[in-house]
Amino acid sequence: MILDSLENAGLYESIHPRFKQAFDFLRNTDLVALPLGKMELDGKNLFVNVVDAEGRTPDIAKMETHDKYIDIQVPVSGPETMGWIAGAKLKQVTEHYNMDKDVSFFADKASNFIVVQPLEFAVFFPTDGHQPQIFEGTVKKIIVKVMV
């Protein structure tokens, strides 16, 4: 898991071959003006979901993991609290892996919480359990999906 500001995104481009393209998009696009929906940057290898996410309380927000994709999550219109736990510690499966949606859900709760400010980013790898969308109201956010 990584938490940083978009100004420092260049520090992480060497971690994965598609990170440079992902971070170039995030740094060089007016994220506030982006319309809601899905945009492919490199087909299924790299795409962007722009959503108006409905906030949840920590007890309702779902813990999730992905097998095929790394998430780069960027709140745009407000701060977002996100929970984290090492994926190896997740034991209470509530929804087994859905291959079409690349997601598993768990009843386990986060061991740590971070507050991601607008235009900061959090990177969640397949080894990271993450519990997003902890806030009140609606927040526009960008989720970049990077094929492992």
pLDDT in tens, 51-87: 999 999 999 999 999 999 999 999 999 999 999 999 9
CATH number at residue 124: 2.60.120.370
| Residue 131 tokens, joined | 């519990």
Q: pLDDT tens, position by position, for the chain (148 residues)?
A: 999 999 999 999 999 999 999 999 999 999 999 999 999 999 999 999 999 999 999 999 999 999 999 999 999 999 999 999 999 999 999 999 999 999 999 999 999 999 999 999 999 999 999 999 999 999 999 999 999 9
134 and 57 Cβ atoms separated by less than 8 Å? yes
Residue 99: its pLDDT value, please?
97
| H or E segment and range at residue 103 | strand 103-106
pLDDT value of position 55: 97
The Cα–Cα gap between 53 and 31 comes to: 15
User: What is the pTM (predicted TM-score) of this model?
Assistant: 0.96
Number of domains into which the chain is organized: 1
Per-residue pLDDT, 127? 98
AA identity, residue 132: P
User: Domain span at residue 125?
Assistant: 2-147
Distinct helix (H) and strand (E) counts, the chain: 1, 12
Cβ-in-10-Å burial (0-12, 13-18, 19+) of 12 comes to: middle
Tokens of 58: 């920590």
